Amino acid sequence: MKLTVAFFVFCLISTVVLAQVPRNSLDLWLKSDTGVLFTSNRVSGWLDLSGHHRDAEVSSAVRPELVPGQLNGFPVLRFNGADITMQTKPFRSFPGKRGTVFLVFRLNGPSYTSGSGVSTLISTYFGNGVTWQFCASPDLYIYYDGVGSEGLPLAAIKTKAWEVATIVRSSDTTFDLYRKGEIRVNYRVSNNQPDSNVLRIASNGRLEVLNGDIAEIILYGRTLSKEEIQEVNAYLLERYHIALPEVPGNYNWIYFLTGILAIIIIAIVSTRYFAQRKLRKKIREFEEQERLNRERQRISREMHDDIGAGLTQIILMSESAKHKKPEEGTRELEDIAATSRRLVSSMSEIIWSLNPEYKTLGQLFAYMREQLNRQLEYAGINFDLQFPENNESVILRNEQRRNLLLVTKETVNNVIKHSGAGNLSVTARVEKQKIIMQVEDDGRGFDLNRVSGGNGLRNIRHRVEELGGQLDISTEPGKGCRIRFSVPL
């Protein structure tokens, strides 16, 4: 028995001597792997290793649990967040308004006794004189001195992740907070001095009970130097193998320059994109305006050439008929009537081609079938019209609709007037993004070389070329005629 006690004392002294912590002003030192008194893993006491014998004991009905191997092989004291607390013998914390505290802990979840889920780490709260409390939640640390509270926002304190927190009272009214050895914030506190009081562990005496684990607590009655703070943090991080916070290494300037370069590239690309987008919009507007101008010129030309010439012809015929006797002016009156009908038909076609409701290829074929039926009804020719169905998805421009209609009608009109044909076929098909139309008759035909300069064929060829298409005429005297033209969509 004596040998066991001696060995225990030797281990205790060796641990204190070999530890990398300053001894000057060390007020309290609690370690989960040394000096924990327990029965069946339920803790009853925690021996102070500072030499002041400020041992902690359980002050609640429910005792903490000693859980082995939780922190890289080290045991920890686990508090349930509901009804467990421990307290040391009374002593004065932060004497002379100075002091340093180190804690190795983790949160396992929100406290069950706090409305906001805040867990107390250590405190002298609900004691004699001025009190204080150091707490943690998943979002922040809190230091409360009974007069005012300070919430210290940080990057999220992850649940079930081990933390090494250091609070340093460096003046009468300021505290520094370190996290895993790295200083994070400096904050103000009230200018007061805590009285001699018990130090409560894992609660403030009755509320805000810690839901988490504690591995080690070290408390000093003075402000440690920056070198000493680094030394103690290095000891704790190395002892428990806790990973340092992820901070940029020696390549900060590379990340910085990369970020600046990325911003510059994004700015250049964005500027260029919006400039090109604006330019494309202006080009589209210009092209649309040019198209409208061409359309106006085309309509104006057709009105002048067709309607204007027809009206002029009617005027001349009317003047001629006016100077003749009634029985002699019959021919002029017939010509006026025929010309008027032609002008009405032409005007109807122009209006139809300008109507935005009739813009599909299917609608053009339907209108063309109606016009050709009317044109051929009393011509004395057997005719066959074959147009494809279901072309409502193909959209045509006004110019395309108008010229396709006129070319087809003029070709059929030439057959009626000049071919002497008994049979006529008009066919259309759509293939490879082209409209292909063919007008074929069994009439007398003609010598293409002798009539190539005629107005009818010249007008047909001109309209097909305006649409970017191709015209093919196949005919011989006595062998009929086939006119075929293709126009790209």
- Single out the residue of 74, 33, 29 nearest to residue 55, CA to CA: 29
What pTM, to 2 d.p., does this model score? Answer: 0.50
132 and 110 in one domain?
yes
324 and 272 in one domain?
yes
pLDDT, position 303: 62
pLDDT, position 149: 61
Helix, strand or coil, per DSSP, at residue 60: coil
Q: Residues for the chain: how many in total?
A: 489
345-370 residue pLDDT tens: 667 666 666 666 677 888 888 888 88
| Residue 442 near residue 418, CB atoms below 8 Å | no
Six-digit token string for 139 = 């979002």
CB-side exposure of 279: number of CA atoms within 13 Å? 6
As a whole number of angstroms, the distance between CA 169 and CA 95 comes to 10
pLDDT, position 363: 84
pLDDT, position 384: 92
Low-confidence ranges of the chain (pLDDT < 70): 1-19, 148-151, 153-155, 244-253, 292-293, 295-313, 316-317, 319-335, 339, 341-346, 348-357, 451-455
Reported as type and span, the H/E element at residue 79 is strand 74-80
As a whole number of angstroms, the distance between CA 475 and CA 52 comes to 124
pLDDT, position 354: 65
DSSP state letters, 381-432? -EEEEE--S--TT-B--HHHHHHHHHHHHHHHHHIIIII--SEEEEEEEEET
**Dihedral through CA 174, CA 177, CA 182, CA 186, nearest 10?**
-40
Let me know the angle formed at the C-alpha of 75 by 108 and 203, rounded to the nearest 5 degrees: 45
Residues spanned by the domain of 199: 20-240
pLDDT, position 389: 81
223 and 135 in one domain?
yes
253 in a structural domain: no
474 and 407 in one domain?
yes
**CA torsion through residues 331, 333, 339, 342, sign:** negative
pLDDT, position 1: 44
382 in a structural domain: yes
50-69 residue pLDDT tens: 999 999 999 889 999 999 99
pLDDT, position 442: 92
171 in a structural domain: yes
Helix, strand or coil, per DSSP, at residue 133: strand
- Single out the residue of 16, 197, 20 nearest to residue 94, CA to CA: 197
pLDDT, position 433: 86
196 and 101 in one domain?
yes
**Residue 418: how many CB atoms within 10 A of its CB?**
16
pLDDT, position 219: 96
pLDDT, position 5: 41
Q: The domain that contains 346 carries what CATH number?
A: 1.10.287
Count of structural domains within the chain: 3
